Amino acid sequence: MLSKKSQYAFKALSFLVEKRNEGPILISEIAEHKRIPLKFLENILLELKKADILDSKKGKGGGYFLKENPENVKLAKIIRLVNGPIAMLPCVSLNFYEKCEDCNEDHCGLHDVLIEVRDASLNILEKKTLMDLVD
């Protein structure tokens, strides 16, 4: 499941995509329009800025804006950044792999099924971009 943090990140990013031609957008405007708690949103936007997805401008006319073209930002990248692994088990994760404590990956039916689930999810999330979030 997507965390609340991830849901808020996608809401904020979709708003910034919609407003991408209007210049920097104030955090308070994003928070109000998308009903996101301001303090929570500040942390999310800082994370996205550190990842070079967003940038910000200080002072009059300041705010946040997309640094990358939204057509180039894959949804999988945002989920991994904000939510962590896409895979449902650590032993099937591509970027956050961890061996399960009591599992033999060579003979685990759950492992095999969840690899298929991961691959199907990635097949979609690696094709969809921030542009797919807007109408």
pLDDT band at 2 (very low <50, low <70, confident <90, very high): confident
d(CA 35, CA 28): 10
Q: Select from 11, 42, 91 the least CA-distant residue to 2.
A: 11
Report the predicted TM-score, pTM, of the whole model to 2 decimal places. Answer: 0.86
Tokens of 37: 């708690």
Tell the burial category of 74 from Cβ atoms under 10 Å away from its Cβ (0-12, 13-18, 19+): middle
Tens of pLDDT, residue by residue over 28-75, are 999 999 999 999 999 999 999 999 999 999 988 899 999 999 999 999
Report pLDDT for 98: 79
With a cut of 80, say whether residue 103 has pLDDT above it: no
**Residue 93 vs residue 26, higher pLDDT:** 26
